[in-house]
Structure 1
């Protein structure tokens, strides 16, 4: 299993868009479609440092994703940048892939000289806490209770 920049394997965008839509459509814009996500994911194919998406592959098949984005919650524009889109296909879960995808974003953020990054999660706070993330708030976002977390890059390395 390898973790690579999405721009090295753009053929996986359609599959990723379907997975992300299925997993998080309820947290996105009301009009978000798979086609909309495909268009958004094409923004990751540049050399810009943000947004950046990493994917995991196994035998040529995409197995998961993670991203560094400028904003992930339209209600928390005071926080930037964000770890987002952490997803591992159900056939590949509990094998350490999620942690490797998170670490790819943290390594990229560190290479950019960032001091901290944020995320929000409805149901995986313990997964992130085990990797050194700290909860900074709990609030309702688009009808769902979420935990907002922070990772201070300079203070800890996995």
Structure 2
């Protein structure tokens, strides 16, 4: 398995867009996610999208974004849009993608990372600290996490 920035394999952008739209697109257009992916492929700039592949098979994706939760723009940066293709789940890819972003963020000099999730008890297993609740647009309670680098 290899984890790399999407800009090094841009032919996977359509599939990443589709995954994110289907997984996280409640009420949002596919064009919205296409724009996010299009603008997350610049070297050494945020937002940034990473992908996990085996040969030419796309396994999963994760982002390092400036902001993922509009109501908490005081937190920066964010591990965002972690998605593993269903047939690939259970192989530790979620942890591998998290660790890749953590390592990258550490190398960039960030002090911490943030994320939000609708559920509990997954990210805690990987060292994330639950720091409270937040509100996702338009009015959904979510759990906030911090990873100290």
1:56 aligns with 2:62: no
> TM-score by structure 2 length?
0.92
The alignment of Structure 1 onto Structure 2 pairs a total of residues equal to 148
> TM-score by structure 1 length?
0.87
Deviates more, 1:113-122 or 1:33-42: 33-42
Q: 1:41 & 1:140 partners in 2: Cα distance?
A: 24
1:69 aligns with 2:75: no
Preserved CA contact (<8 Å) 2:134 2:143: yes
Structure 1 runs of 4+ aligned residues shifted over 6 Å read: none
Aligned counterpart in structure 1 of residue 40 of structure 2, from 40, 44, 55: 44
1:129 alignment counterpart:
124
Deviates more, 1:32-41 or 1:14-23: 32-41
Aligned counterpart in structure 2 of residue 91 of structure 1, from 87, 94, 102: 87
Deviates more, 1:37-46 or 1:82-91: 37-46
Preserved CA contact (<8 Å) 2:70 2:136: no
Give unmatched runs, 5+ long, in structure 1: 154-158
